Amino acid sequence: MKTALEIQGLDELRRALRQLPTDLSTEATVIVMAHAEEAQRQVLDNYRGSDVTGNLIRGLTLARESAAYGVRAILKNRARHAYWYEHGTEMRRTSKGVSRGKMPAGHAFIPPVMRQRRLMVHALIQLVRRAGLVVHEIEAL
């Protein structure tokens, strides 16, 4: 007899993962951290492949927060200009009217993080399925 579990979104997946036995929780932790580390590597590669200064590279941090059911990975860039680099700016001028130009969007952070998150969710769904649960993906990931 199979146990059925219908997951309608990420909240349901998180709830299901919290109920997994310890060994599966450990495997889920490995999956989460592997995808977070790969996202970090891809972002660093994007930064190094462009003309950024070391501040963006040094500002990139990966934090791991443990919980009873597994782990949460938080990838951030703490550099003051990280948002501007990622999203770009409009034409800028100093208070005296001197043009500083427009910064194009770098798109170095968000695309690899979203791609790795999507892959991570699929890997976690497969983990739950291997545990004998039936997962119906309702939402497009």
Tens-place pLDDT, residues 33-74 = 999 999 999 999 999 988 777 899 999 999 999 876 678 999
Q: Decide if 34 is inside a domain.
A: yes
Domain annotation covers residue 106: yes
Q: Is residue 38 part of a domain?
A: yes
Residue 141 confidence (pLDDT) above 60: no
Q: What's the total number of domains in the chain?
A: 1
**Amino acid occupying residue 34:** A
Four-residue CA torsion sign, 133, 136, 137, 139: negative
- Contact, 50 vs 108, CB < 8 A? yes
At 138, is the pLDDT very low, low, confident or very high (cuts 50, 70, 90)?
A: low
Q: Report the residue count for the chain.
A: 141
46's tokens = 């994007």
Is 140 contained in some domain? Answer: no
Number of H helices, E strands in the chain: 5, 6
Which 3 state secondary structure label does DSSP give 67?
strand
Domain ranges, residue 61? 3-134
Lowest mean pLDDT among 61-70, 75-84, 100-109: 61-70
